[in-house]
Chains A and B, each alone.
Chain A
Amino acid sequence: MAKTILTVDDSGSLRQMVAFSLNAAGYQVIEAVDGEDGLNKAKATLVDLVLTDQNMPNMDGLTLIKSLRSLSNYQKVPILMLTTESSDEVKALGKAAGATGWLVKPFDPKRLLDIVQRVIG
Chain B
Amino acid sequence: MTIDMSQFYQVFFDESDELLAEAERLLLELDIENPASEDLNAIFRAAHSIKGGAATFGMNDMTEITHVLENLLDRIRKNEMALTAEHVDVFLAAKDILKMQLDGHRHGAAVDLDAVSDIKMTLQNLAQQGGGQAHLPPVSQPVSEVVQPVAVEKQPSAHPAGKGYLIQLPELPEKDVVALTAELELLGIVEKKPLKDGKHILSLVTDESLDNIVAICSFVLDPDDLIITEQAAGPVAAGASAVEASSTAMDSGKSFLLEISDLSDKDMQTLVSELELLGKVQQQPVSGNKQSLLLATEDSKENILAVSSFVVDVDKLTVTQQVHAVAAASPVSVSTFDEGDFGLFDSIPAPVATPQISQHETKAVEDNNAAVPVENKRVAPRREADKAVASQETTSIRVGIEKVDQLINLVGELVITQAMIEQRTSTLDPMLHERLLNSVGQLTRNTRDLQEAVMSIRMMPMDYVFSRFPRMVRDLAGKLGKKVEFVTNGAATELDKGLIERIVDPLTHLVRNSVDHGIESPEIRSAAGKNPVGRLSLSAGHQGGNIIIEVSDDGAGLNRERILNKAKSSGLNVSDNMPDADVWQLIFAPGFSTAEKVTDVSGRGVGMDVVKRNITAMGGVVDIRSAFGYGTTISISLPLTLAILDGMSVRVGDEVYILPLSFVMESLQPAADDVKDVTGQGRLVKVREDYLPLIPLYQMFNIEPLYREPEKGILVVLQVDGKKAALFVDELVGQQQVVVKNLESNYRKVAGISGATILGDGGVSLILDVANLLRSSRQLITEPSIH
Instruction: From A1, A21, A101, A103, name the one whose CB has the most chain B CB atoms within 10 angstroms.
Output: A101
Residues of B within 8 A of A21 (CB): 1, 3
Interface-facing stretch out of B359-367, B489-497, B574-582, B697-705: B359-367
Cα distance A13–B332 in the bound complex, in angstroms: 32
Q: Name the one of A25, A73, A88 contacting B334, with C-beta atoms under 8 angstroms.
A: A88
Interface-facing stretch out of B49-57, B108-116, B608-616: B49-57
- B53-73 interface bits toward A, Cβ cutoff 8 Å, 1 = contact, 0 = none: 101110000000000000000
Residues of A within 8 A of B248 (CB): 110-111, 114
Cα distance A91–B2 in the bound complex, in angstroms: 30
> B351–A25 contact, CB under 8 A?
no
Q: Name the one of B244, B334, B346 contacting A100, with C-beta atoms under 8 angstroms.
A: B346
Cα distance A95–B244 in the bound complex, in angstroms: 22
Cα distance A10–B117 in the bound complex, in angstroms: 29
> B346–A104 contact, CB under 8 A?
no
Q: Does B656 contact A (CB under 8 A)?
A: no
> A111–B351 contact, CB under 8 A?
no
- B32-50 interface bits toward A, Cβ cutoff 8 Å, 1 = contact, 0 = none: 0000000001101100110
Q: Does B595 contact A (CB under 8 A)?
A: no
> B53–A40 contact, CB under 8 A?
no
> A85–B137 contact, CB under 8 A?
yes
> B348–A100 contact, CB under 8 A?
yes
Interface-facing stretch out of B126-134, B234-242, B312-320, B471-479: B234-242
Chain A nearest CB, measured from B380 CB (Å): 12
Q: A16-B11, A33-B393, A84-B52 are contacts. A39–B360 as well, Cβ < 8 Å? A: no
Q: Which residue of B lies closest to A83 (CB)?
A: B140
> B53–A11 contact, CB under 8 A?
yes
> B334–A101 contact, CB under 8 A?
no
> A10–B49 contact, CB under 8 A?
yes
B212-255 contacts to A (CB < 8 Å): 237-240, 244, 248, 250-251
Q: Does B343 contact A (CB under 8 A)?
A: yes
Chain B nearest CB, measured from A29 CB (Å): 14
The number of residues on chain B lying at the interface, defined by a beta carbon within 8 Å of a beta carbon of chain A, is: 64
Cα distance A76–B348 in the bound complex, in angstroms: 9
Q: A13-B8, A95-B334 are contacts. A24–B345 as well, Cβ < 8 Å? A: no
Cα distance A99–B344 in the bound complex, in angstroms: 9
> A73–B341 contact, CB under 8 A?
no
- A78-121 interface bits toward B, Cβ cutoff 8 Å, 1 = contact, 0 = none: 10000011111001101100011111111111110111011111
Residues of B within 8 A of A72 (CB): 362, 366
Residues of A within 8 A of B44 (CB): 55
Q: Does B386 contact A (CB under 8 A)?
A: yes
Q: A36-B385, A121-B351 are contacts. A94–B345 as well, Cβ < 8 Å? A: yes
Cα distance A86–B140 in the bound complex, in angstroms: 8
> A13–B57 contact, CB under 8 A?
yes
> B240–A108 contact, CB under 8 A?
yes
Residues of A within 8 A of B1 (CB): 21, 24-25, 109-110, 113
> A20–B8 contact, CB under 8 A?
yes
> A106–B393 contact, CB under 8 A?
no
B342-387 contacts to A (CB < 8 Å): 342-346, 348-349, 351-352, 356, 359-360, 362-363, 366, 382-383, 385-386
Instruction: From B42, B56, B238, name the one whose CB has the most chain A CB atoms within 10 angstroms.
Output: B56
Q: Name the one of B51, B345, B360, B385 contacting A46, with C-beta atoms under 8 angstroms.
A: B360
Q: Which residue of A lies closest to B57 (CB)?
A: A13
> A86–B12 contact, CB under 8 A?
no
Q: Does B545 contact A (CB under 8 A)?
A: no
> B389–A103 contact, CB under 8 A?
no
Residues of A within 8 A of B346 (CB): 100
Cα distance A1–B244 in the bound complex, in angstroms: 31
> B251–A110 contact, CB under 8 A?
yes
Cα distance A25–B51 in the bound complex, in angstroms: 27
Q: Which residue of B lies closest to A58 (CB)?
A: B385
Chain A nearest CB, measured from B201 CB (Å): 17
Cα distance A113–B248 in the bound complex, in angstroms: 10
> B251–A114 contact, CB under 8 A?
yes
Instruction: From B335, B343, B352, name the one whose CB has the most chain A CB atoms within 10 angstroms.
Output: B343
Q: Name the one of B52, B326, B348 contacting A106, with C-beta atoms under 8 angstroms.
A: B52
> B140–A105 contact, CB under 8 A?
yes
Cα distance A114–B45 in the bound complex, in angstroms: 28
- B453-497 interface bits toward A, Cβ cutoff 8 Å, 1 = contact, 0 = none: 000000000000000000000000000000000000000000000
Residues of B within 8 A of A11 (CB): 15, 49, 52-53
- A35-77 interface bits toward B, Cβ cutoff 8 Å, 1 = contact, 0 = none: 0110110010010000001011110000000000000110011
Residues of B within 8 A of A103 (CB): 341-342
> A73–B12 contact, CB under 8 A?
no
Q: Name the one of A37, A85, A117, A121 contacting B140, with C-beta atoms under 8 angstroms.
A: A85
- A37-B386, A57-B42, A84-B48 known; 18 new pairs, CB 8 Å cut-off, are A11-B53, A13-B53, A16-B8, A17-B8, A21-B3, A46-B359, A53-B52, A57-B41, A76-B349, A77-B349, A86-B341, A88-B333, A94-B345, A100-B349, A101-B335, A101-B343, A105-B55, A109-B3
28 contacting pairs across A/B (C-beta < 8 A):
A10-B45, A13-B12, A13-B53, A17-B8, A20-B7, A21-B1, A36-B386, A40-B383, A40-B385, A46-B356, A57-B41, A72-B362, A72-B366, A77-B349, A84-B140, A86-B140, A88-B332, A91-B335, A100-B349, A104-B342, A106-B55, A106-B239, A108-B238, A109-B1, A109-B5, A110-B248, A113-B1, A115-B342
Q: Would you list the 3 A-B pairs with minimal beta carbon distance, nearest first? A: A13-B12, A106-B239, A101-B344
- Residue positions of A touching B, CB distance < 8 A: 1, 10-14, 16-17, 20-21, 24-25, 33-34, 36-37, 39-40, 43, 46, 53, 55-58, 72-73, 76-78, 84-88, 91-92, 94-95, 99-111, 113-115, 117-121
